[in-house]
Amino acid sequence: MSDFYPELIEKLPQAVVPIEGVKARLLQSDHGQLVFFDIPQGAKVPQHAHGAQWGTVLDGEMTLTIGGEAKTYRKGDSYTIPAGVLHEATFATRCHIIDLFADTDRYAAKA
């Protein structure tokens, strides 16, 4: 999947992500999902909403719009998206991001 994440993460199940070029590994819990993303430069996540989300940028640069307020996030930056708030993202560079989703079914594991 990636030349960024260690083998320990690469062994996790792949997540089904409906955005071309985005790769993800999924760690499932009864309390939510932790997803390790590898997102290509130029990718766009369309506006949507779901349960609460927390994330941190491990590498790269993205613009995340939360509730109509756009902000640029870079390596080391974290963000919180409250449940039900509309948000979208664009990626200026390739990004490696970890997101924790309160929803236990946000992403499905690839069969």
Residue 11 located in a structural domain? no
Give residue 93's domain range. 20-101
Burial of 52 (0-12, 13-18, 19+ CB in 10 A): middle
pLDDT digits (tens, 9 = 90+) for 36-92: 999 999 999 999 999 999 999 999 999 999 999 999 999 999 999 999 999 999 999
Number of structural domains the chain divides into: 1
pLDDT at 1: 55
Instruction: Read off the CATH number of the domain in which 71 is found.
Output: 2.60.120.10
Residue 75 located in a structural domain? yes
What's the rounded Cα separation, in Å, for the pair 15 and 53? Answer: 16
Residue 2 located in a structural domain? no
Q: How many other C-beta atoms can be found within 10 angstroms of the C-beta atom of residue 39? A: 23
Sign of CA dihedral 41, 43, 44, 48: negative
pTM of this prediction?
Answer: 0.96
Assess whether pLDDT exceeds 80 at residue 9. Answer: yes
- Specify which residues 88 forms β-bridges with: 65
Residue 88 located in a structural domain? yes
